[in-house]
Amino acid sequence: MELSAKYNPAEVEDKWYSYWLEHKFFHSEPNEKEPYTIVIPPPNVTGILHMGHVLNNTLNDVLIRKARMDGKNACWVPGTDHASIATENKVVAKLKAEGISKEDLTREEFLAHAWAWKEEHGGIILKQLRKLGASCDWDRTRFTMDPDLSEAVINTFVHFYKKGWIYKGVRMVNWDPEALTAVSDDEVIHKDTQSHFYHLKYYISDGNGNPTDRYLVIATTRPETIMADAAICVNPADERHHWLRGKKVLIPLINREIPVIEDSYVEMDFGTGCLKVTPAHDVHDYEIGLRHNLPVLDIIDEHGRLNEEARILVGEDRFVARKKIVKMLEESGNLLKTEEYTSPVGYSERTNAVIEPRLSAQWFLKMDKLAGLALETVESGKTRLIPDKYINTYRHWMENVRDWCISRQLWWGQRIPAWYLPDGKVVVEPDAEAALKAAQAIDPSLKAEDLRQDEDVLDTWFSSWLWPISVFDPQMPGHPDHVPNKDLSYYYPTNDLVTGPDILFFWVARMIMAGNEFMGKEPFHNVYLTGIVRDKIGRKMSKTLGNSPDPLDLIAKHGADAVRIGMLLCSSAGNDIFFDESQIEQGRNFCNKIWNSYRLIKSFAVDENTQQSDVCKVAVDWFDAKLSQTIQTVEDHYSKFRISDALMAIYKLFWDDYCSWYLEAIKPAYADGKPLPMDKATYDATLRYFEALIKMIHPVMPFISEELWQDMEQRKEGETIMFAPTPKARPFDASVITAFEMAAETINAIRGIRNQKNLPPRAPLALKIKGDFPKQAVPVIERLANTSSVEIVPEFSESNGVNFLIRTVEMFVPLTGLINVEEEIAKLEKELEYQKKFLAGVRAKLSNERFTAHAPEAVVANERKKEADSLSKIESFESQLKSLINSK
RNA sequence: GGGAGCAUAGCUCAGUCGGUUUAGAGCAUCUGCCUUACAAGCAGAGGGUCGGCGGUUCGAAUCCGUCUGCUCCCACCA
C-alpha cells in the first residue's frame, strides 16, 4: 500500500468499524474465560452526542478494549434510557409546535406520538457512538422501556409493595407547574434569586370580622399566597408579640379572619417576628399547620395559577398575581414597605420553572434499609469510588436520605401497577388480570371495568437502577417464577462503571441498592467518576452558551483517534475537563507521527548478510529494556485508573524513545543517493517494537492501530489487533537504560554547543571524555552527535574548547578559535559559585548532629554522595577555570 | 447556614510513607532549521519563593493551625 505523507482518518475509520462489526468482534457470549463487563450509562433515547458522552464513552472503550487484549471476555452493553420527563417534554413541545395540546389527547394518543418520536429520533446517539469507535456489543442493545425491561420495573414495584416498603401518602412535593408533575428533591436546583421582601399590615379583628385600628406586620416574599393564610404565628418567647395572644387578624383585601398562634419554629430576629402560615404552599407552614390543626386551603392550581379558592385574581399566573396584588395592597394601604431581598429559590432541573411546593398524593419507597446497605457496600470497599474523595459526600447522602418519591404525573414511562377499587381500596399486581383476581378476593362481585389503574408513571431512575441486572435478565431475581439466567450469573457483578459525579446519587447509589436487594451483591467493583467537560475558560458546556463543539464535526475534521486522545490527555479522574480543540490537534499530530514512523520503517530494506552494527545493537538492546520498563509503568497506571498517565507514558515511549532516539539511531545511512540495507536482527526488532507500540496504543487509538497492524504483514480475513495480546514486560537490565540515557544526555549537550556557537549540525566535533563512562554508549554518540572522534582520556591536554559535565563525568569539546574565553570564564564562574553554595548547604546539613543522628542511614549516605559529587564538580570547574585563564 | 475539596511553570496536571528532586511532564512560548519518515516536523533554550502567614521537625510542595481565593455538595429563615 502506498502511504501518503499525512494520515487521513476518513479513509480508515469507517472501513475498520465495518470490518469489526461484520466479524462480530464486539459480541460476547458467556464462555470459560474470565468476564470483563461494563454497562453503558444509558444516554437519553432522544439525546444527541455531546462532549460529556465523548469523554465517558472513550474511557469506557479504553477499558473494554484493554480488557479484551488482556485476554478477558469483554462485554460492553449499550442502550438508552427512556428519560421520562425529558422525553415527554420534548414530545409536548413538538406537539405544541404543531398546534396540538397534550390535554386534548388521550393517554393512548399521546403515547402513540411519543413512540413515533422515539422511533424517529431514538438511538441516533448510539449510531454516533460508532463514529467514536465504541466497541459495544450492539447485539445486546437495550432500552429501558423494552417490554421485558418494563416488566422488570413493574415486578420491582410489586416486590417492594408486597414487602411493605412502598406506600402512598399525601406530602408536600416539589411541583413543576410546567411539566405538570412532581419531581424529586434531587431534581430541584436552588439558586439565589433577587426578589422583594414585602412588609404587610394585618389589622386586628374586633371579633366580628371588622378591622380595628391596631395591626401587626408580617414580612413575606410571596404576597400572592396571603389568601391561603391559615394563621399568623409568633414565637412564644417573643414578648413584643404577647399582646397578640388570643387575637384574630384579618387577611388584607379579602378580610378573612385567621388566628394568631405561637410556635417556636418562628425566628424572633428574622423579618418582623411574625410569620404568615400558609399550609398549602410551604413545607414548614404545612408542618406548623399539622401541629396546630390548621385548615389547608389550596389556592394555586397545577399550572401555577390562582384558583377560585383565592377569591381574587382567579386564573392569574402566580407571578402576574404577585405584581398585581402588590399594587392592590399598596392601594389598600396594607403595604408598609418593600425591601430588596435575595433568597434561594428552587428551580426544576428539567424545565427551569420555579418549583411550587404543593400537596399531593404520591408513591414513596422507604429508603432507610436500602441506603444503609448501600453505604456498607462502599465503606467496606466492595465497590470502590475513584477518586475516593466522593466517599464523604456519598456517606452524607446515605445517612440523610429521605423516602424516594417515585411517582410522576406523566404518561411516558412505566405506569404504576396499582388498581383502585370503587371503595378506594387499592391492589398492587403485575397486570390487570392479576389485579382483578386480587380485587375479587376482596369483593367477588367486582368486574374489570370497576377497577381504575393509577394514572401516574414511575420515576425514570426507578427503571435505570435495575440496569446492570435487567440488561442481562429482565425477569429479575426476586420474581416468584425466576429461573436463574446464564448471562446474569456470568456477567454480574460487572467490573467497572464510568460515569459523572452528577448522577452518583441519582443512579449509582440506587444501582447499588437494587444490586444488594435483588442479587445480594454489588453491581460493580469500581466506579470511575469523570469530571464535567467545560470550555477552556471554565464554563459548563451548554446549548444556550453555544460553547459546545459538535463531536461529530471534530471527528470529521481530526479523526476519531485524535478526538479520543484529546479528551484523555486532560482527564484525570474527578477533575473537571477544560476542553480545548488544541488538545485534539495534539492527538492528530500524534496520529501523523505514528503514521510517518510506519512509512519510515516500511521503507527499510534488509540484507541477510549485513552484520549488525554496534550502534544498532546498543539501540536494540536499550529499546528492549525501555519497552519492558514502560509496560510496567503503564500497567501500574491502568491498575490505578490513571488513564491519562498511562496514555502519556505510551505517547512518550512512541514519540521520544522510539521515533526520536531509536529510529534515528538505527536509520540507515545513504550511499550513492540510496539508503543502505539493514541487518536482519535490527530490522526484525524494529518491526517487533512497532507492533508492540501499536498494540499498546490500540485501546486509545483503535483505528490507526488496526490500519497499520493490518498493513504490517499479510493478515488473514478475520484477524484483528483487537484480540492481539497486550505486550508483556520482561525482566530487563536497568544499566542498559542508564548507559543509553548518558549517551543521550551527551548528544544533547553537544547539540546544545552547536546551537549556542551557531555551528551547522554536521560540523565535525571531537569529544573527549574523562572518567568512568559506559563504553557501549560511544557508538550512539558517534552516530547521533556527528562527532569526528570520541576518546576516553585520563586527562584533558588542551583548554581551548567547551567543558561540560554529564552526571559526574567530565567532557570536553575542543573548539579552537570558536570560543570566547571571557564568556567561558564567566559561565564557569557562575556555575562554580552555584556549586559552592550548594556544597555549603549540604555540609550545613551534614554537620548538624541532630540530622546525622535522626535521619535514616540511606538519607545521610545520599547527602554524603551529594557532597562528594559536588566536591568533584568544584574541583573540575576550578581546574578548567585555571587552564582557561592560563590560555588567555 | 452546614459540609467537603482544591490552590505547584502562561495553560492542563504529576509529585507515593516528610528525605534518591538542587521541584517534574505535556501543551504553549522563544531561537535556529523546508536536514532523504513526518514543518501536523527537527534541534535547542527560557520559564516556579509549590496561594499568604505561623507552627511541628534535623529536614516541609508534602503534616498541623490560620488567612485569602476558587469549586462542588447539602440546606426552602418566611
The x, y and z cell numbers of residue A686, run together, are 524494529
The x, y and z cell numbers of residue A648, run together, are 502519556
What's the confidence (pLDDT) of residue A1? 59
Closest residue by Cα to the C1' atom of nucleotide B58?
Answer: A851
The distance from CA A838 to its chain's CA centroid, rounded to whole angstroms, is 45
- A189: nt with nearest C1' to CA: B76
Burial classification of residue A758, based on how many CB atoms lie within 10 Å of its CB (0-12 exposed, 13-18 middle, 19 or more buried): exposed
- A602: nt with nearest C1' to CA: B37
Cite the DSSP H helix spans in A765-856. 778-784, 821-847, 849-854
The x, y and z cell numbers of residue A176, run together, are 413543576
What's the confidence (pLDDT) of residue A458? 96
Alpha-carbon gap, residue A84 to A782, rounded angstroms: 70
* Grid cell 414565637 in the structure block, residue: A235
- A306 pairs with which residues across the strands? A300
CA of A351 to C1' of B11 (A): 36
Task: Please state which of the ranges A188-202, A288-302, A844-858 shows the lowest mean pLDDT.
Answer: A844-858
- A341: nt with nearest C1' to CA: B78
Kindly state the average pLDDT of the residues A650-673.
93
Q: What percent of chain A has pLDDT over 90?
A: 62
- A850: nt with nearest C1' to CA: B58
Burial classification of residue A11, based on how many CB atoms lie within 10 Å of its CB (0-12 exposed, 13-18 middle, 19 or more buried): exposed
pLDDT, tens digit, for every residue of A576-607? 888 888 889 999 999 999 999 999 999 999 99
What's the confidence (pLDDT) of residue A255? 92
pLDDT, tens digit, for every residue of A420-478? 999 999 999 999 999 999 999 999 999 999 999 999 999 999 999 999 999 999 888 77
pLDDT, tens digit, for every residue of A714-764? 999 999 999 999 999 999 999 999 999 999 999 999 998 888 887 877 778
Helix (H, G, I), strand (E, B) or coil at A289: helix
Cβ A880 to strand B below 7 Å? no
What's the confidence (pLDDT) of residue A201? 94
Q: Is the per-residue pLDDT at A39 higher than 80?
A: yes
- A585: nt with nearest C1' to CA: B40
Whether ipTM tops 0.90, in short, is yes
Alpha-carbon gap, residue A155 to A281, rounded angstroms: 35
Cβ A267 to strand B below 7 Å? yes
CA of A409 to C1' of B34 (A): 69
> How many Cβ atoms sit within 10 Å of the Cβ of residue A242?
11
Cβ A797 to strand B below 7 Å? no
- A667: nt with nearest C1' to CA: B37
CA of A302 to C1' of B29 (A): 60
Q: Is the per-residue pLDDT at A570 higher than 80?
A: no
Q: Is the per-residue pLDDT at A543 higher than 80?
A: no
Q: Is the per-residue pLDDT at A265 higher than 90?
A: no
What's the confidence (pLDDT) of residue A502? 85
What's the confidence (pLDDT) of residue A525? 95
Q: Quick one: CA dihedral A119, A124, A125, A129, positive or negative?
A: positive
Do A280 and A296 contact (CB within 8 A), yes or no?
yes
Do A280 and A299 contact (CB within 8 A), yes or no?
yes
Closest residue by Cα to the C1' atom of nucleotide B31?
Answer: A755
CA of A683 to C1' of B15 (A): 39
pLDDT, tens digit, for every residue of A604-649? 999 999 999 999 999 999 999 999 999 999 999 999 899 999 999 9
Q: Is the per-residue pLDDT at A820 higher than 80?
A: no
Kindly state the average pLDDT of the residues A62-68.
97
> How many Cβ atoms sit within 10 Å of the Cβ of residue A509?
25
Containing A363, the helix (H) or strand (E) segment is strand A356-365
Cβ A777 to strand B below 7 Å? no
Containing A870, the helix (H) or strand (E) segment is helix A857-887
A344 to A192, A276, A347, A354, A846: CA distances (angstroms): 4, 19, 10, 11, 61
- Nearest to A457, CA basis, from A404, A413, A519, A397: A413
Task: Please state which of the ranges A645-654, A659-668, A771-780 shows the lowest mean pLDDT.
Answer: A771-780
Kindly state the average pLDDT of the residues A348-358.
87
Largest pairwise CA distance in chain A? 122
Cβ A570 to strand B below 7 Å? yes
Closest residue by Cα to the C1' atom of nucleotide B19?
Answer: A859
Cβ A870 to strand B below 7 Å? yes
Kindly state the average pLDDT of the residues A668-682.
89
Give me the half-sphere count of Cα atoms (radius 13 Å) on the Cβ side of residue A439: 27
Alpha-carbon gap, residue A16 to A138, rounded angstroms: 16
- A854: nt with nearest C1' to CA: B58
CA of A642 to C1' of B16 (A): 14
Cβ A855 to strand B below 7 Å? yes
Helix (H, G, I), strand (E, B) or coil at A321: helix
What's the confidence (pLDDT) of residue A580? 84
- A577: nt with nearest C1' to CA: B12
- A283: nt with nearest C1' to CA: B76
Residue A329's pLDDT band (boundaries 50, 70, 90)? Answer: very high
Burial classification of residue A178, based on how many CB atoms lie within 10 Å of its CB (0-12 exposed, 13-18 middle, 19 or more buried): middle
- A865: nt with nearest C1' to CA: B20
Q: Is the per-residue pLDDT at A360 higher than 90?
A: no
CA of A756 to C1' of B44 (A): 8
Closest residue by Cα to the C1' atom of nucleotide B38?
Answer: A596
Residue A352's pLDDT band (boundaries 50, 70, 90)? Answer: confident
* Grid cell 395591626 in the structure block, residue: A215
Q: Which of residues 809-838 of A touch strand B (CB under 7 A)?
A: 834-835, 838
Kindly state the average pLDDT of the residues A335-353.
86
- A649: nt with nearest C1' to CA: B25
Q: Which of residues 277-296 of A touch strand B (CB under 7 A)?
A: 282-284
Cβ A756 to strand B below 7 Å? yes
The x, y and z cell numbers of residue A397, run together, are 447522602
What's the confidence (pLDDT) of residue A544? 67
- In this predicted model, which residue has the larger pLDDT, A730 or A350? A730
Q: Which of residues 453-512 of A touch strand B (CB under 7 A)?
A: 501-502, 505
Q: Which of residues 158-197 of A touch strand B (CB under 7 A)?
A: 172, 185-186, 190
CA of A507 to C1' of B3 (A): 22
Q: Which of residues 658-697 of A touch strand B (CB under 7 A)?
A: 659-660, 663-664, 667, 670, 673, 675
Protein-proximal nucleotides of chain B (any atom < 7 Å from a CB): 3-6, 11-14, 19-20, 22, 25-28, 31, 35-45, 57-59, 71-78
Cβ A718 to strand B below 7 Å? no
CA of A7 to C1' of B39 (A): 15
Kindly state the average pLDDT of the residues A699-724.
96
Alpha-carbon gap, residue A379 to A357, rounded angstroms: 35
> How many Cβ atoms sit within 10 Å of the Cβ of residue A659?
17
CA of A631 to C1' of B3 (A): 41
Helix (H, G, I), strand (E, B) or coil at A793: strand
Alpha-carbon gap, residue A598 to A602, rounded angstroms: 6
Kindly state the average pLDDT of the residues A790-801.
83
CA of A389 to C1' of B56 (A): 26
The x, y and z cell numbers of residue A471, run together, are 440488561
- Nearest to A689, CA basis, from A638, A653, A665, A716: A653
Cβ A388 to strand B below 7 Å? no
Q: Is the per-residue pLDDT at A186 higher than 80?
A: no
CA of A524 to C1' of B75 (A): 31
A882 to A390, A654, A829, A862: CA distances (angstroms): 63, 45, 11, 30
Q: Quick one: CA dihedral A135, A136, A138, A139, positive or negative?
A: positive
- A269: nt with nearest C1' to CA: B77
The distance from CA A812 to its chain's CA centroid, rounded to whole angstroms, is 53
Alpha-carbon gap, residue A781 to A776, rounded angstroms: 10
Task: Please state which of the ranges A120-134, A305-319, A831-845 shows the lowest mean pLDDT.
Answer: A831-845
Residue A879's pLDDT band (boundaries 50, 70, 90)? Answer: confident
CA of A66 to C1' of B27 (A): 26
Kindly state the average pLDDT of the residues A847-871.
82
Kindly state the average pLDDT of the residues A36-48.
94
Cβ A327 to strand B below 7 Å? no
**Angle A560-569/A581-603 helices, nearest 10 degrees?**
120
